[in-house]
Amino acid sequence: MYNTAYLNQQFVQHFQVAPTCIASSPGRINLIGEHTDYNEGFVFPAAIDRYIYVALSAREDNEIHIFSAAYNTYFKTTLLPETSETAPEWAKYILGVVQLINGKKSIKSGINLFLDGDIPLGAGLSSSAALTCATGFGINALFQLGLSRLEIVQIGQQTEHRYIGVNCGIMDQFASVMGKENQAFVLDCKDLSYRYFELQWPEYEILLLNSNVKHNLASSAYNKRRKACEQGVAWVKEKYPEVNTLRDINLQQLDDIVRPLSEDIFIKCRFVIQENLRVQQASDAIQRKDITQFGRLLYEAHWGLSKDYEVSCAELDFLVHFVQGLPEVAGARMMGGGFGGCTINIIKKGSSTALIDKITTAYFDRFGKSPSPIQVKLSNGTSLLEY
Ligand code: GAF
């Protein structure tokens, strides 16, 4: 958690007035259930104690002034929608949120925004979802617009679609806004119902290992994967009109209809159907406190993401392969959209120091760089800071 006095002082330094409010929104992990959200499937995320902070005040003119501490850059524009085209990438997240909110409820004036945070960028911990959700929450509070948490989640997701070009699902924004301390939750991305689970495994803890391979969802194969799933659904729908998503399709239908048309699309769709099942099995395992089964599902998910869905990379595969079979590690897998970022590891408490040493040496020998360990606690979602 950042010190609010620091954020306040930074804001004053950049804008010569005090902020009216400071919103914070956390990054997220995902226990299991990747690439299922945009297929109306199940995910199992949790918010973590790493945050993006957005401090705000209303302006007397019609301009948006933003200072990003991460980029040490200042950007200003007007409230008019067309101005976002020429904005730097990081500012488009803010302008997207502003424009989407403005389309729903009219924003009364310009805004000063100061952005800072401690979520490593490009690590697969959803810093961009945290940024859009903190911005949405902050603007909502600043002008007392009465937007619900769900509306803020949807504005965050729509910003990615319309202003960044990533056709993401809803998991990241939902986790950032709805997270709860010490709990993860299974979210049904079809009807957006969710159920919190306390992770009761006193002997284990979560360790993230950042591969330090930076991903870029927009330029990666993310949108292509989503299209492959949609194509698979479209083919099945021709024969079964009641089918709308992969959630409605069974493996037999996939084998009969999609496989003869494209082996690759068949494999991608099969992964999603299997991954949905794994989320159900993982939540059962958590309820039974069966860490062995839970860990086994994580490894299975990883190799499915790597070999079938093809969203891993050599570094992530190495990190998972290295720990698989070690007695102090119950399970591990790549996390998030893929192509870089972190692995999530469920490890015996007290084993992290020795484990990190071993992995770092092996990883350095293989890739000439070190992974970065990140220890996290499960935290509450988006909030306003008291100050
Ligand atoms: C990224 C996306 F933003 C999420 O919506 C989700 O699809 C995830 O990749 C993969 O599970 O984080």
Per-residue pLDDT of the chain (387 residues; tens, 9 = 90+): 778 999 999 999 999 999 999 999 999 999 999 999 999 999 999 999 999 999 999 999 999 999 999 999 999 998 776 557 789 999 999 999 999 999 999 898 999 999 999 999 889 999 999 999 999 999 999 999 999 999 999 999 999 999 999 999 999 999 999 999 999 999 999 999 999 999 888 999 999 999 999 876 546 789 999 999 999 999 999 999 999 999 999 999 999 999 999 999 999 999 999 999 999 999 999 999 999 999 999 999 999 999 999 999 999 999 999 999 999 999 999 999 999 999 999 999 999 999 999 999 999 999 999 999 999 999 999 999 976
Q: What is the three-class DSSP state of 66? A: strand
pTM for the complete prediction? 0.96
Atom 1 of ligand 1, nearest CA residue: 337
34 in contact with ligand 1, CB cutoff 6 A = yes
Indicate which atom in ligand 1 lies nearest the CA of residue 36. Answer: 11
Q: What is the ipTM metric for this complex?
A: 0.99
334 lines ligand 1 (CB under 6 A): no
Atom number in ligand 1 closest to CA 37: 7
Residue-range domains of the chain with CATH: 4-198+380-384 (3.30.230.10), 204-376 (3.30.70.890)
CA distance 109 to 23: 19
According to the model, what pLDDT value does residue 200 have?
Answer: 82
Q: Helix H segments across 243-290?
A: 251-253, 263-287
Per the structure block, which two tokens stand in for 234?
Answer: 């479209």
How many other CB atoms sit within 10 Å of the CB of residue 12?
A: 15
CA of 125 to the centre of ligand 1 (A): 10
What pLDDT is stored for residue 122 in this prediction?
A: 85
Which burial class, exposed, middle or buried, applies to 71 when counting CB atoms under 10 A from its CB (0-12, 13-18, 19+)?
middle
The closest residue, in CA terms, to atom 11 on ligand 1 is: 34
Residues 234-264 have pLDDT tens digits of 999 999 999 999 999 999 999 999 999 999 9
Q: Which residues are catalytic?
A: 172
Q: Are 132 and 156 in contact (CB under 8 A)?
A: yes
Question: Residue 172: CB within 6 Å of ligand 1?
Answer: yes
Q: Record the tokens describing residue 331, joined without a space.
A: 């399970």
Q: Which two tokens stand for residue 80?
A: 């008019």
Whose CA is closest to atom 7 on ligand 1? 35
For residue 124, which atom of ligand 1 is closest to its CA?
12
Residue 168 Cα: closest atom of ligand 1:
5
Nearest protein CA to atom 8 of ligand 1, as residue? 337
- Among the atoms of ligand 1, which is closest to the Cα of residue 43? 11
Ligand 1 pocket test, candidate residues 168, 220, 222, 229, most atoms within 8 A of CB:
168
CA of 35 relative to ligand 1 center, distance in Å: 6
- Closest-CA residue, ligand 1 atom 5, reads 169
| The pair of three-digit structure tokens given for residue 6, joined into one six-digit string | 């620091």
How far is the centre of ligand 1, averaged over its atoms, from the C-alpha of 270 (Å)?
A: 18
Residue 270: CB within 6 Å of ligand 1? no
Residue 265 near residue 224 (C-beta atoms within 8 A): no
* Side chain identity, residue 258: V
